């Protein structure tokens, strides 16, 4: 996993100035120092710490976006692992299979046992 790339102080200042005191996701008015600078495209998915890839968002929007980012990153990890062969496919390979051996063929032709009831009905004795 790649290391997280942080925004420089100069880049953060440019992002905060561009936002003009509002959350860039939900347009909520933010107090000074209340917003959080966030990567639009996460570092783990190839995002760079640039002004174009950053935005100032409120804490609520940041929590929601982080949850979405984690799901996307995990999905990318699974796809990469499947492609590299680190994870075996879940489905069985569909093929006609191997021919049946003689031993298995004999086992399949055995006669079934005759039907045997699990219980016998009680016989009523009648006295004349």
- The structural domains of the chain, with segments of one domain joined by +, span 9-83
124 or 14: which leads in pLDDT? 14
Summarize the confidence of residues 23-31 as an average pLDDT: 94
Q: How far apart are CA 36 and CA 8, in angstroms?
A: 14
- CA count, 13 A, side-chain hemisphere, 60: 8
| Secondary element (H or E) of residue 54 | strand 54-57
Is the C-alpha dihedral spanning 68, 71, 75, 76 positive or negative? positive
- CA count, 13 A, side-chain hemisphere, 117: 3
pLDDT, one tens digit per residue, over 33-43 is: 899 999 999 99
pLDDT, one tens digit per residue, over 88-114 is: 777 776 777 778 788 877 776 667 778
Averaged confidence pLDDT in the chain: 86
User: Rounded to two decimals, what is the model's pTM?
Assistant: 0.62
Q: How far apart are CA 59 and CA 15, in angstroms?
A: 16
Q: How far apart are CA 111 and CA 22, in angstroms?
A: 81
Q: Reply yes or no on whether the pLDDT at 49 is more than 90.
A: yes
| Architecture of the domain made up of 9-83 | 3-Layer(aba) Sandwich (3.40)
How high is the pLDDT of residue 58? 95
């Amino acid at each position: 996993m790649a290391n997280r790339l942080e925004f420089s102080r100069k880049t953060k200042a440019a992002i905060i100035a561009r936002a003009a005191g509002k959350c860039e996701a939900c347009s909520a008015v933010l107090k000074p120092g209340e917003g959080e600078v966030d990567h639009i495209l996460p570092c783990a998915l190839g995002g760079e710490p640039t002004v174009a890839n950053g935005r100032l968002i409120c804490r609520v929007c940041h929590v929601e976006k982080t949850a979405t980012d984690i799901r996307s990153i995990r999905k990318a990890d699974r796809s990469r692992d499947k492609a590299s062969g680190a994870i075996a496919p879940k489905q069985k390979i569909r093929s006609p299979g191997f021919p049946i051996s003689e031993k298995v063929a004999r086992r399949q032709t055995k006669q079934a046992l005759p039907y045997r009831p699990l219980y016998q009905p009680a016989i009523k004795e009648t006295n004349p």
